[in-house]
Structure 1
Amino acid sequence: MKEIKTKIGDHYIHIGCGPKNLMKVIERNLQSFIYADNQHPDLVIKIEDGYGVGFKDYEVEIIKDQNQISFQRADYLIKVDSEYKTAKISVNDELALKHALMNLFSSFIVYHNWGLLIHSSCAIEQEKAHLFAGQSGAGKSTAARLSYPRKLLSDEATLLKITGEEVTIFNSPFRSELEADYFKGNVSLASIQILYQALQNKRAKLEKSNALLNLMDKVFFWPHSQEETKRILRLMTLLVKKVPVYELHFQKNNSFWELIS
């Protein structure tokens, strides 16, 4: 079994994986996150293949007992201890591995009240981060591509650290099309855009209540208790208090950045 050590956000993660095809996926997606130090891991993950069937749907069954939480989908099974220190992931294929890792890491950071993983893209402009969220097909990947040559921190799942003082963005390894470049540290989040493709560019600020409603279904999370749901709501409430949220109607070119920067 081959092992790699990574740092995602503030967290040190050790991953062990036997199947070579799955290890290649991990190395490719985490090449900018590999960490050589002997830092004690916050989470240890073991990965194996041979589980279930190919992708059927996004439905995840969650079972919790005193010592373990299980997240089961047709193409993957995650078993993690109740304190999120060790986990075992069994998958059917590479797509299942990608989704399982997002599931596990999202649950891990929520458990620690650290932050959220949000379905979105994110780019840096003048040393500030700007996030682009929306329904499927709204243009998150398009906005990411049109943001070049600005540095991208995500093109599918943005990693947010949320505290009472500020919201910051870390480089995300959970990518769709664009591989992560090396980026050390984090950047303050200056704005959130809810995307709508349009013939003309227009940007309008949302009230905090509407902002919260627009963002709730963009979080990668599978709550398994009332306590977990309360953590999500607390983090989301802090997010919309600290960061302005806008509706952004945009043309398919980079001129929308004139409304942001």
Structure 2
Amino acid sequence: MPGVMAAAQRSDVVVEIGGLPIRLRCDDPAFIRLIIERYAGYVSSSNDTGFEFDIELAPPGAEPRDEDVRVTWDSGRWLMERGDFRAEWNPSASRGRIQQTSNPYSLDSVLRIVHTLLLARKGGFLVHASSAIRNGRAFLFPGVSGAGKTTMARLAPPDATLLTDEISYVTRQDDRYFAVGTPFFGELAHAGENLRAPIEALYLLAKGSENKIEPVAGTDAVRGLLGNILFFARDAEFVKLVFDAACDFVSRVPVRRLTFVPDSRVWELIV
């Protein structure tokens, strides 16, 4: 019973995505339990956290309707705001605070923003893409809403491991790019596996009357990737970091256009 009581009264939890553990604190144990449930598979026992956020829950009331995200750099802090949350983060102090509704998906948005900022410094990015590992290699399928990200995830063969059907996490290590599982999901409504693998290829999605693959190079490849990268901050330095990362990525990873019919046979072309 003491162990159960201790778990019920927890006021903090560590969520580790992409190998970056972030400690989240809140005075409301019920909200901590919601976080643990929401990020199952990504909750870490690590005490060596690089960043910490204190969460203050807004009083119950009507959900705000402002859906525009604003991210600005001011006096050594990143300021993040949407109708359902306001947050600030001081990277040099590794500390931040969040004021948000009790909806855990508000926290989803804050974490996505924070990870885009962290990844940009390391040559990585978050991208609107489903991704999966097959035979030790990762494949990315970026696209706008309706392009077929979730469809490709649903059609994946039994020997493929799904990393996400919505938001892919791309990180650079030396001269290679890796895809990492994320808890950020789309229509499948469940988190991807918390695994990583080197990226073999990226397939820009398009629906058609037949399955075919065409190479995409140069400017078209960069444009296709940039159009799907999560992009919150308009700070000039951040914009350059993301652009440089996209250019480097397409110089090292094959980019192809995948036109497909929603049929499992499409995966026979993924090599």
Instruction: Name the TM-score, length of structure 2 as normaliser.
Output: 0.86
How far, CA to CA, are the matches of 2:192 and 2:228 in structure 1? 24
Partner SS, residue 43 of structure 2: coil
Paired position in structure 2 for 1:13:
22
Paired position in structure 2 for 1:140:
149
Question: 1:103 aligned to 77, 88, 113, which one?
Answer: 113
More moved, 209-218 vs 75-84: 75-84
Q: How many residues align?
A: 258
How far, CA to CA, are the matches of 2:212 and 2:148 in structure 1? 15
Q: Within the alignment, does 1:43 sit opposite 2:54 as a pair?
A: no
How far, CA to CA, are the matches of 1:109 and 1:86 in structure 2? 17
How far, CA to CA, are the matches of 1:8 and 1:73 in structure 2? 22
How far, CA to CA, are the matches of 1:27 and 1:91 in structure 2? 17
CA-CA distance at 1:62 after TM superposition: 3.0
Aligned pairs for 1:173-188 (under 5 A) are 173-176=183-186, 177-180=188-191, 182-184=193-195, 186-188=196-198
Paired position in structure 2 for 1:251:
261
How far, CA to CA, are the matches of 1:21 and 1:138 in structure 2? 37
Considering only aligned residues, what root-mean-square deviation do their CA atoms show, in Å? 2.2
Instruction: Name the TM-score, length of structure 1 as normaliser.
Output: 0.89
Partner SS, residue 259 of structure 2: strand
How far, CA to CA, are the matches of 2:236 and 2:93 in structure 1? 18
How far, CA to CA, are the matches of 1:98 and 1:80 in structure 2? 15
Identity rate, percent: 24
Q: Within the alignment, does 1:230 sit opposite 2:230 as a pair?
A: no
How far, CA to CA, are the matches of 1:158 and 1:251 in structure 2? 23
Closer/same/farther in 2, CA of residues 168 and 210 from structure 1, 3 Å limit: same
Task: Give the letter aligned to residue 179 of structure 1.
Answer: H
CA-CA distance at 1:201 after TM superposition: 0.7
Which sections of structure 1, spanning at least 5 residues, go unmatched? none
CA-CA distance at 1:164 after TM superposition: 5.0
Q: Within the alignment, does 1:194 sit opposite 2:190 as a pair?
A: no
How far, CA to CA, are the matches of 1:256 and 1:22 in structure 2? 42
Judge conservation of contact 2:77–2:91 (CA < 8 Å) in 1. Answer: yes
Paired position in structure 1 for 2:165:
155
Task: Give the letter aligned to residue 209 of structure 1.
Answer: T
Which sections of structure 2, spanning at least 5 residues, go unmatched? 1-9
How far, CA to CA, are the matches of 1:117 and 1:181 in structure 2? 14
Bigger Rg over Cα: 2
Partner SS, residue 183 of structure 2: coil
Q: Within the alignment, does 1:124 sit opposite 2:133 as a pair?
A: yes
Partner SS, residue 44 of structure 2: coil
Closer/same/farther in 2, CA of residues 236 and 84 from structure 1, 3 Å limit: farther
